[in-house]
A and B are shown apart, each in its own frame.
Chain A
Amino acid sequence: MGKESHLSSVTTNIEQGPNRKPSADEAKWEKSVLEPSLEKSPERAKRFTTISDYPIQRLYTPADLAGWSAEKDLGFPGQPPYARGIHSTMYRGRLWTMRQFAGFGTAEDTNQRFRYLLSQGQTGLSVAFDLPTLMGYDSDHLLSEGEVGKCGVAISSLADMEVLFDKIPMADVSTSMTINSPAAVIWAMYLAVAEKQGADWKKISGTLQNDILKEYIAQKEYIYPPGPSMRLVIDTFEFGAKETPKFNVISISGYHIREAGSTAIQELAFTLRDGIEYVEWALRRGLDVDDFSPHLSFFFNAHSDFFEEIAKYRAARRIWHKTMHERFGAKSPRSWALRFHTQTAGCSLTAQQPYNNVVRTALQALAAVMGGTQSLHTNSLDEAWALPTEFAATIALRTQQIIAHESGVTNTVDPLGGSYFVESLTNEVEQGAWDYIEKIDALGGMVNAIERSYPQREIAEAAYRYQVSVDRKEKIVVGVNDFIAEEKPLEILQIDETVAHRQAERLRKLRADRSAGEVDRRLKSLRKAAEGTENLMPHIYEAVKAYATLGEICDALRDVFGTYEEVAIT
């Protein structure tokens, strides 16, 4: 794939290089208006850059869009290349799903918060699990000490999942679950509860994060080596395409890559290259591209640089359309259209003057909406200190409602389409991402690139560069390296320290009450299946229904697959 083929023939030149040909009028304006003005009062800085250190010009004009075609590069909403959004009416038809990520303590605690959020007008659920659950350990495992119920809800078995969704109609409410390495197990628990509620699997909707590649790259919550991990992911693709046609079996995530310190272009490129990797593995399994691709969804960060983020979302849709259409030959428009969830940037929140975080989050959320997101989580003002209080979480939800119902930005589709700046930046961000995608192709794909620490190193470099620029005050963070003030401490959420004890007690009771023989049989059959090549989802489902715990099921797979240790780079 040559670079030129990706963009019709766009040549934009950010540093005002030789390819940029200003019109006679622009050249005249520069001589007669701009230059005298610069002589009188120079600009604030020599170089203006995005938060990702990407250079931005003083002014964008038609000269920056030479070769750009409104027909080919912009198109119409709901139509390739989807630059303007994936639906023809966008938010005039239906607003984005307001989906606040929540979870803490026991299943009872989180069930209560979920029911509160639904009563306040939230339109979908999103489950945060605690670290032991994310790592496939039961709450009473030695390594779970101090972590139970802290970063999310503790779910060790189907019994916990039953409590988590008590009195929540799974047939009507879509649920997103942020779970990766043990995703197949947690999903099986969810499906088992849905079955008990009498909800039809063909109709239930939701999203499983299930993106193991970004775990190796950024968030580091992996259990098994890449090969068997990818097999588990493809097992869920196959199972989902058959059994749960409305469920997104994966949310290919840039969020964590960005939080780990990447630039916007790296976030975009690594995420989409991860997407390519999943498609390639699924095709190798023999799946039909148009069977599983409509169930792939994406998840991006909404960071603080307003236009860079909007350009990123627009470029993402163009790249994915081109990739699915040209690289993989997908025929269904549902395979071409990139649907995504967005979360505002946790790493942009400051512990200092925390009420300022409401403003940061509002701007970031606005960028996500202007970029055409399908669902959105807005962070709470107190998250640089702890998990959010109900008070803080409510303001975060209200922020979305104000954007949706008061700001007016939902009245028209892609309000920034055609802006010289936004279109130029979209082109440039897209080109930057293609360059990375080609590099990773040349390294033999993302799994190979990860094993060589390539994306990890790129991100660590960018994270360090950013820290240095903040330390040197080249980038200003309000309340942190400038505009500093004394302040009163914030009231924060206290996690009940008896959670671990209560969970351990519940597990003890579960192990005593269930049929040990049945659990044993189911785990044996899972182990045997794991040694072969068949789809593991049905085996995991049966083990879950016998109340085998998360830790027991993950251990059975650890026995067969082994575990993964990364080469730590600093």
Chain B
Amino acid sequence: MTDKKIRVLIAKPGLDGHDRGAKVIARALRDAGMEVIYTGLRQTPEMIAAAAVQEDVDVIGLSILSGAHNALCPRLMELLREKGMGDVTVLIGGIIPEADIPSLKKVGIAEVFLPGTSTQDIVDFIRKRFAEAQKA
């Protein structure tokens, strides 16, 4: 382990304004010692990718409850690769039908967290990924 704090961008893509989950996760990750930047509402994939570069984050957490994930996620992943941020860990939390999860993972989403996930599970997942990335 290094002393570097894990930097996380929490983002709300799409038109949906339900930000309870995004805010709770932002606070939980901060309480777990991570550096958290919250984009606020209604971010396009372009805005999220630009913020990820500017803030030089290790992790992007997307909160999507509106059903727009299949349209928004592939584009975000493409933009991240274009910007040389293909290895940033991208996570989704929200209302995601189980049938959509394989295709989301295929475009490079590291994990999908469904309703009921404990914040500790998300903290543990991020720490583990980060430790592996440090070793590599």
Contact = CB atoms under 8 A, between A and B. Distances in A.
B23 A460 contact: yes
Nearest to A386: B97
Interface string B14-37: 111111101110111010000010
Contact of A477 (B18, B26, B114, B116): B116
A132 B27 contact: no
Q: Which 10 A-B pairs have the closest CB atoms?
A: A146-B71, A220-B17, A146-B68, A150-B67, A568-B40, A131-B15, A570-B26, A480-B116, A351-B115, A570-B38
B69 to A, nearest CB: 8
Interface in B103-136: 114-116, 118-120
A495 interface: yes
B20 A260 contact: yes
Given A147-B15, A219-B18, A220-B41, A467 B24 contact: yes
A316 interface: no
Interface string A120-159: 0000000000011011010000011111001100000000
A386 B38 contact: no
A471 B40 contact: no
A147 B30 CA distance: 31
Contacts of A463: 20, 23-24
B99 to A, nearest CB: 8
A385 B98 contact: yes
A221 interface: yes
Contacts, number: 114
A137 B16 CA distance: 13
Given A147-B68, A492-B97, A570 B17 contact: no
Contacts of B18: 219-220, 259-260
B22 to A, nearest CB: 8
Interface string B34-68: 00101111101000000000000000000000111
A513 B51 CA distance: 43
A489 B98 contact: yes
A464 B27 contact: yes
Contacts of B67: 146-147, 150-151, 386-387, 495
B41 A568 contact: yes
Contact of A471 (B10, B14, B23, B118): B118
A565 B41 CA distance: 9
Interface of A: 131-132, 134-135, 137, 143-147, 150-151, 215, 219-222, 259-261, 347, 349-352, 384-387, 460, 463-464, 467, 470-471, 477, 479-481, 489, 492, 495, 565-566, 568-570
Contacts of A151: 16, 66-67
B95 interface: yes
Band of interface residues on B: 35 or more
A349 B95 CA distance: 12
12 contacts: A143-B44, A146-B67, A220-B18, A220-B19, A260-B20, A384-B115, A464-B23, A467-B119, A477-B116, A492-B97, A566-B41, A570-B22
A131 to B, nearest CB: 4
- Which of the listed residues B15, B42, B95, B99 has the most CB atoms from chain A within 10 Å of its own CB? B15
A349 B116 CA distance: 9
A464 B24 contact: yes
A446 to B, nearest CB: 18
Contact of A219 (B17, B66, B97): B17
Contacts of A145: 68, 71-72
A144 B39 CA distance: 19
A384 B27 contact: no
Contacts of B44: 143
B97 A385 contact: yes
Contact of B15 (A132, A259, A479): A132
Contacts of A215: 17
B118 A481 contact: yes
A454 to B, nearest CB: 16
Contacts of B26: 570
Nearest to A219: B17
B20 A259 contact: yes
A135 B15 contact: yes
Nearest to A480: B116
Contacts of B114: 351, 384
Contacts of A147: 14-16, 66-68, 71
Contacts of B115: 349-351, 384
A352 B97 contact: no
Given A460-B23, A463-B20, A146 B72 contact: yes
Contacts of A222: 17
Contacts of B71: 145-147
Contacts of A261: 20, 24
- Which of the listed residues A147, A219, A480 has the most CB atoms from chain B within 10 Å of its own CB? A147
B15 A350 contact: no
B79 to A, nearest CB: 14
